[in-house]
């Protein structure tokens, strides 16, 4: 075994956007492993670290060189004679005596077996690393050495690359790899000599904590220390912690405060300013109320003179002053007087203004409110106000507060709770992690808004493709699905869509919206509405499969059933998941698949079972058991006790097995054959209404 050497690659970059660092490290690892695999090298102890200024890959050990190996070069066939062999030997620079004979399926061949010495690892890496660096994918890369120059996320300013004690010599974008690293911008040196044993230490002495986990820990420990002896409690915020760990090389938290008078402002406003605009942690008092304090995280060791704290406090006060100004100015014009102003706020160039959108939401929300027996007047009121906060100064400044501000303004302007809460919550859920709105009215507005967006966009051909989804339609559809399922809303999405699509059609046709395509399919469905339905089905599949972790075949089986609403679909999935654990289920599912194939091959369409034609024994037994079960299953199914229904169906397993063991479906007598097909057809259709078992992938499936 050849010598093994430690390896280090550090790409020194001007500040990389914090959210891109962890994904980039994963890409570096993937690309590096590919280089190793391709060159038959094995790494021990591979690890990756990153800060805003460096991406670092280290291996505890790499072979110093590739293993030697034997190469087989095939020559001409023996039958070609000595002359051909001489030519082959000469071409390869060997004597004819060095050739061997290899026997293949086609006969005997001259061949050359020769030893190939492994290449030096340093040489391999020097050749591979420039391409590796160039291949790291970035969301938005730049060039800096001139047009057509190399692209990276930000300019690369140094590269350190050591294999053992040797520099691996290569260059990228005019930067030559060397053996030195650099420290923190303000607290470190620019030329730091190091070796594999002291790399992290040297960095630490120069103000850089290499490990993100350690930076996170340093932030949390520091906060704990700052809060010791106070009655302040940290509002935990993992996402912010991650951001700050990747925005700094040497994070140190400091505690700041602000004037209590700002606590009159809504907590949502204060939090947004601190959390999103200033990246501060917020703090709570013992009673859970917001404290007039914050934690900022510096990229420095200490703030001995308190300049950093003071600076941050001053910035925060200016921002809070702005917010107070907006809060007061916005209140001078109540939301209800802003409805008209929405006419000059564009939703989408062809779809028109938010005023038009509000009308769409109102129509949809009203329809749903009637179906669900909610207070139609309150829902309409909420729908009419739902987008008015887009005209407020606060939302223009703090856009992430859209909806929330509308709710807060509506509350302070005396709107009833059902109304203001609905407005407040209607953007939820914005992601799959977000909760759904808490109130029925909020859920309804959330759905009406998303459905309106989806219908409008699909109607004029704005459809997400690949990674392009500028209107966030996937997110809207995902949110819609989530609200329907988790809100247990017993509305048929299909019917909602059909009614909404027809209404959109009437409006768009009347207005002559540019790019509106009103083509219909043979069955009368609007083409775009069908397309939207397929899109929603996709999102439903994604939700149950990837978010709720149902198996994909269970989702397919449930979707192929006669499900009505999304909660109903969820019930079927739960039942399916549970019954699947029982012993009879999978074999039965395999039989159902067999039945489906038999029917398909026989091109069986329909037909009733003629009891007189049934043969005594397994055939008649199956028929009788089936007839006995049918009403029970139907009853269980109608009362949505899908688990009971599936358990009942599973009891058929033995009868089905015996049938297939001893009955020939393809009987010579045509009428017997047709009757047997009818029996199977009835079995399949009757029981597939809960979930299509033939979609279940089983180990017993052989077809």
By the criterion CB under 8 A, which residues form the site for another protein? 14-15, 17-18, 52, 140, 142-147, 149, 154-155, 157, 185-187, 247-248, 278, 296, 298-300, 303-305, 307-308, 310-312, 314-318, 321-322, 325, 344-346, 349, 353
Contacts of 446 (CB under 8 A, 6+ apart): 425, 426, 427, 428, 429, 436, 437, 479, 480, 483
Q: Which is nearer to another protein, 393 or 686 (CB)?
A: 393
Comparing C-alpha atoms, which of 233, 231, 211, 249 is closest to residue 295? 233
Contacts of 230 (CB under 8 A, 6+ apart): none
Q: Which is nearer to another protein, 161 or 296 (CB)?
A: 296
Q: Confirm if 642 and 572 have CB atoms less than 8 A apart.
A: yes
Q: Which is nearer to another protein, 149 or 461 (CB)?
A: 149
Q: Which is nearer to another protein, 300 or 432 (CB)?
A: 300
Q: Which pair of structure tokens corresponds to residue 503?
A: 């209404």
Q: Which is nearer to another protein, 299 or 556 (CB)?
A: 299
Comparing C-alpha atoms, which of 167, 173, 137, 140 is closest to residue 155? 173
Q: Which is nearer to another protein, 100 or 321 (CB)?
A: 321
CB of 13 to another protein, least distance (A): 11
Q: Which is nearer to another protein, 174 or 607 (CB)?
A: 174
How far apart are alpha carbons 164 and 174 in whole angstroms? 24
Q: Which DSSP string corresponds to 285-333? A: -TTSSEEEEEEEEESSS--TTSHHHHHHHHHHHHHHHHHHHHHHHHHTS
CB of 530 to another protein, least distance (A): 31
How far apart are alpha carbons 532 and 542 in whole angstroms? 15
CB of 244 to another protein, least distance (A): 10
CB of 462 to another protein, least distance (A): 16
Q: Confirm if 183 and 189 have CB atoms less than 8 A apart.
A: yes
CB of 269 to another protein, least distance (A): 17
How far apart are alpha carbons 535 and 526 in whole angstroms? 14
Q: Which is nearer to another protein, 296 or 410 (CB)?
A: 296
Contacts of 559 (CB under 8 A, 6+ apart): 537, 540, 541, 569
Helix, strand and coil content of the chain, in percent to the nearest 5, comes to 55, 15, 30
CB of 344 to another protein, least distance (A): 5
CB of 16 to another protein, least distance (A): 8
Secondary structure of residue 88 in the 3-state scheme: helix
Q: What are the distances in angstroms from CA 546 to CA 450, 487, 550, 552?
A: 21, 19, 8, 9
How far apart are alpha carbons 341 and 327 in whole angstroms? 18
Q: Which is nearer to another protein, 345 or 463 (CB)?
A: 345
Q: Which pair of structure tokens corresponds to residue 549?
A: 């972790």
CA angle (631 as vertex; 628, 636 as ends), nearest 5: 125
Contacts of 229 (CB under 8 A, 6+ apart): none
Comparing C-alpha atoms, which of 273, 278, 225 is closest to residue 252? 225
Q: Which residues of 123-149 are buried (b: 16+ CB within 10 A; e: fewer)?
A: ebbbebbbebbeebebeeeeeeeeeee
Q: Which is nearer to another protein, 106 or 140 (CB)?
A: 140
How far apart are alpha carbons 682 and 690 in whole angstroms? 14
Q: How do 69-77 and 192-193 pair as beta strands?
A: unpaired
CB of 352 to another protein, least distance (A): 9
Q: Which is nearer to another protein, 145 or 198 (CB)?
A: 145
Cis peptide bond prior to 429, omega within 30° of 0: yes
Q: Which is nearer to another protein, 321 or 413 (CB)?
A: 321
CB of 684 to another protein, least distance (A): 57
CB of 318 to another protein, least distance (A): 5
Q: Which is nearer to another protein, 307 or 616 (CB)?
A: 307
Q: Which is nearer to another protein, 299 or 688 (CB)?
A: 299
Q: Confirm if 153 and 9 have CB atoms less than 8 A apart.
A: no
CB of 295 to another protein, least distance (A): 12
Secondary structure of residue 71 in the 3-state scheme: strand
Locate tokens 């730091």: which residue? 192
CB of 155 to another protein, least distance (A): 7
CB of 321 to another protein, least distance (A): 7
CB of 183 to another protein, least distance (A): 13
Q: Which pair of structure tokens corresponds to residue 401?
A: 């507060």
CB of 30 to another protein, least distance (A): 24
Q: Which is nearer to another protein, 208 or 477 (CB)?
A: 208
Contacts of 467 (CB under 8 A, 6+ apart): none
Q: Which is nearer to another protein, 142 or 509 (CB)?
A: 142
CB of 162 to another protein, least distance (A): 22
């Amino acid at each position: 075994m050849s010598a093994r050497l430690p390896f280090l690659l550090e790409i020194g970059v001007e500040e990389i956007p914090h959210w891109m660092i962890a994904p980039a490290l994963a890409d570096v690892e993937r690309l590096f492993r590919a280089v190793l695999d391709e060159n038959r090298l094995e790494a021990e102890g591979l690890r990756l670290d990153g800060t805003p200024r460096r991406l670092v890959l280290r291996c505890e050990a790499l072979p110093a060189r590739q293993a030697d190996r034997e190469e087989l070069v095939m020559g001409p066939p023996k039958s070609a004679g000595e002359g051909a062999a001489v030519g082959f030997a000469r071409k390869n620079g060997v004597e004819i005596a060095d050739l061997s004979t290899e026997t293949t399926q086609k006969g005997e061949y001259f061949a050359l077996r020769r030893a190939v010495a492994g290449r030096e690892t340093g040489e391999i890496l020097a050749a591979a690393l420039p391409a590796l660096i160039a291949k790291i994918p970035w969301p938005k890369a730049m060039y800096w050495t001139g047009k057509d120059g190399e692209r990276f996320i930000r300019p690369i300013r140094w590269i350190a690359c050591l294999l053992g004690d040797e520099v691996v010599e290569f260059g990228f974008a005019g930067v030559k790899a060397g053996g030195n690293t650099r420290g923190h911008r303000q607290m470190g040196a620019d030329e730091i000599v190091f070796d594999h044993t002291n790399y992290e230490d040297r960095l630490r002495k120069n103000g850089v904590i290499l490990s993100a986990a350690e930076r996170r820990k340093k932030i949390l420990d520091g906060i704990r220390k700052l809060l010791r002896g106070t009655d302040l409690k940290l509002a935990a915020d993992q996402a912010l912690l991650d951001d700050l760990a990747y925005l700094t090389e040497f994070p140190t938290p400091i505690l700041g405060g602000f004037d209590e008078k700002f606590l009159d402002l809504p907590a949502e406003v204060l939090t947004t300013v601190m959390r999103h605009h200033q990246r501060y942690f917020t703090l709570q008092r013992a009673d859970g109320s917001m404290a007039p304090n914050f934690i900022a995280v510096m990229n420095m060791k200490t703030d001995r003179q308190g300049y950093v704290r003071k600076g941050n406090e001053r910035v925060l006060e200016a921002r809070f002053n702005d917010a107070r100004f907006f809060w007061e100015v916005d209140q001078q014009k109540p939301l209800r007087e802003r409805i008209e102003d929405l006419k000059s706020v564009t939703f989408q160039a062809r779809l028109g203004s938010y005023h038009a959108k509000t009308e769409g939401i109102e129509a949809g929300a009203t329809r749903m409110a009637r179906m669900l027996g909610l207070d139609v007047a309150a829902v309409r009121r909420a729908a009419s106000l739902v987008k008015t906060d887009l005209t407020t100064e606060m939302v223009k400044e703090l856009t992430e507060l859209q909806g929330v501000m509308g709710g807060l303004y509506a509350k302070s302007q005396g709107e009833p709770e059902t109304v203001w809460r609905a407005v407040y919550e209607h953007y939820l859920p914005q992601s799959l992690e977000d909760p759904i709105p808490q109130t029925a009215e909020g859920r309804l507005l959330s759905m009406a808004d998303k459905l309106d967006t989806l219908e409008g966009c699909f109607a004029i051909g704005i459809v997400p493709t690949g990674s392009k989804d500028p209107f966030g339609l996937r997110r809207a559809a995902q949110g819609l699905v989530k609200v329907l399922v988790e809100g247990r809303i017993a509305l048929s999405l299909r019917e909602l869509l059909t009614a909404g699509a027809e209404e959109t059609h009437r409006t768009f046709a009347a207005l002559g919206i540019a790019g509106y395509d009103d083509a219909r399919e043979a069955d009368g469905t609007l083409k775009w509405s069908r397309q939207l339905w397929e899109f929603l089905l996709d999102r439903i599949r994604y939700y149950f499969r990837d978010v709720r972790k149902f198996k994909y075949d269970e989702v397919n089986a449930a979707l192929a059933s006669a499900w009505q609403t999304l909660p109903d679909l969820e019930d079927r999935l739960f039942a399916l998941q549970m019954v699947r654990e029982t012993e009879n289920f999978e074999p039965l599912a395999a039989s159902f698949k067999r039945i489906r194939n038999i029917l398909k091959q026989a091109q069986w369409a329909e037909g009733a079972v003629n009891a007189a034609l049934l043969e005594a024994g397994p055939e008649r037994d199956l028929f009788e058991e089936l007839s006995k079960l049918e009403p029970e299953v139907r009853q269980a199914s109608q009362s949505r006790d899908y688990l009971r229904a599936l358990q009942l169906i599973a009891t058929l397993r033995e009868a089905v097995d015996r049938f297939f063991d001893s009955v020939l479906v393809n009987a010579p007598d045509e009428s017997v054959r047709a009757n047997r097909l009818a029996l199977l057809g009835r079995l399949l259709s009757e029981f597939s209404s809960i979930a299509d078992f033939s979609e279940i992938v089983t180990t017993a499936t052989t077809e």
